Amino acid sequence: MALTFTDLLNYSVGNNSGIDYLMATASFIIFIIALVIFKGVIIHRLKKLAEKTKTEFDDLLIKSVNDIRWPFYVIISLVISLKFVTLPDFIQKAFNFIAIIFVTYYAVKFIQGIIDFGVNKIKQKGQEEGKFDAHIIGILNKIIKGVLWAVAVIIILSNFGYNVSALAAGLGIGGLAIAFAMQNILSDVFASFSIYFDKPFRIGDFIIVGDDLGTVKHIGIKTTRIQTLQGQELIISNKELTETRVNNYKKMERRRISFTFGVEYGTKLKQLKKISSIVKEILDKIKIADLDRVHFKQFGDFSLNFEVVYYVNKPDYLTYMDTQQEINFALKERFEKEGIVFAFPTQTIYLNKIT
C-alpha cells in the first residue's frame, strides 16, 4: 500500500512527525535565504551608503558584519530550525555549544574591532601631536584584548557547565603568586603606564635625570632610552624614572642663561663703561635671544668680572650652545677692536728692597 503525502506528514520517526521535520527543514531554508539576502543585498547597499558618509565608525560596523562567515549563519539557522523537532539532549546541547562558541567568537571580534578603531584614532592623534610612543598604547591594547578573550573563555566554560567561581578563584591565587614573583618587572610595567597617562616627558624631550642628561628616544614597557650628549644610549628603568626628580627642558618656553667673563685690571674706566653697551649691541642682533641684564659684578682675584643674563627663545640645548658661541665670537671680535683684553689667571708679586 502506497503512502500518501498526508501519511508521510503524520508518520513519526524518533518522536517527531513528518510535519515537524518539514517545519524544521522549511525554517532552515527560510533562514538561509533571509541571511543570503541580508548579506548579499542589504549589507552591500549599507556599505555603499557608509562610503558616502564622513564618519568611519559606520564603515567599521558594516565591515564587522560583512566579515561574519557562512558557517556562523548555517549553525544559527540549524539551531533555530531544530527547535521544531525533538532530539536527544546530547545532540541539542552539542549544537547549542557550537552556537555559543560562534556567537562568543564573533562578539569578541566585533569588540576587538571597536577597540582597534579607538586605539588607531588615539595613536594617530598622539603621533601627530608628538605626545607619546605608539608602542605603549599598543601594549595596553594587547592587554585589553587578552582580558577580553579570557572573559570569553570563562563565558563559554560557564555555558558548558564548569564551575567558573572555582576557576576564577584558582586563577586569582595563581595570579597573585605570579605577580609576587614578577613584582620588579610588573612595577616597571605599571610605571610605563604612569608615564604614558601622566606624561612627565615625551619622545624628543630633553631631560636631566640625576647626573645624566639627554634626549628621550624611546619609552618602552619596561625601560626608557635616552640619547646622551656624549652619544651613547642610556637605558633607565621606568620605575626609577617615576621615583626620581626629572628636569624636562622641553617644557620650557625659553631658556634662561647666565654667564660671566673677566677683563684685565689694566682696563681703563672708559672701556669698562663701554662693555655693557657692547654686550647689548651683540644681543640685539641675535633675534632668538633677549638680553635681561649685564653688570660689572665684582673685583676678582685677577680680573674685573662682568655677569650677563639673557634668554634664548627656544628650549633645546643645541640652540642655546649655538647662541652662546655666537655671543662669544662677537665679544672677542669687539674687544679686539676696542683694545679690551680678556683676563686670565695671573699673580703679581711686589718686592721691596731692604737696605
- Let me know whether 9 and 124 are in one domain: yes
- Residue 247 phi, psi dihedral angles, 5° rounding: -90, 115
- Let me know whether 292 and 315 are in one domain: yes
* Enclosing domain of residue 333: 255-338
Query: Is residue 19 within 8 Å of residue 27, measured between CB atoms?
Result: no
Note the pLDDT of residue 174.
54
User: What is the rounded distance in angstroms from the CA atom of residue 326 to the CA atom of residue 286?
Assistant: 9
Note the pLDDT of residue 309.
96
- Let me know whether 120 and 13 are in one domain: yes
290 in a structural domain: yes
- Let me know whether 260 and 311 are in one domain: yes
Three-state DSSP state, 82: helix
85 Cβ neighbours under 8 A, 6+ residues apart: 16, 20, 21, 23, 24
348 in a structural domain: no
Print pLDDT tens along the chain (355 aa). Answer: 445 556 555 556 556 666 766 777 788 788 778 877 777 777 767 777 666 676 766 666 777 777 777 777 777 777 777 776 776 677 777 777 878 888 888 788 888 888 787 777 776 665 555 555 556 666 677 777 777 888 888 777 777 766 666 655 555 555 555 555 455 656 766 777 777 777 778 888 888 888 888 888 888 777 888 988 788 888 888 888 888 888 887 777 788 899 999 999 999 999 999 999 999 999 999 999 999 999 999 999 889 999 999 999 887 778 899 999 999 999 999 999 999 999 987 666 666 666 5
Note the pLDDT of residue 175.
55
244 in a structural domain: yes
User: What is the rounded distance in angstroms from the CA atom of residue 23 to the CA atom of residue 43?
Assistant: 28
User: What is the rounded distance in angstroms from the CA atom of residue 121 to the CA atom of residue 134?
Assistant: 11
- Let me know whether 310 and 279 are in one domain: yes
Note the pLDDT of residue 1.
45
Three-state DSSP state, 92: helix
CA-wise closest residue to 272 among 332, 340, 318? 340
- Let me know whether 303 and 243 are in one domain: no
Q: Which three cell numbers stand for residue 69?
A: 562567515
349 in a structural domain: no
- Of 222, 251, 280, which one is at a domain's C-terminal end? 251
Domain tally, the chain: 3
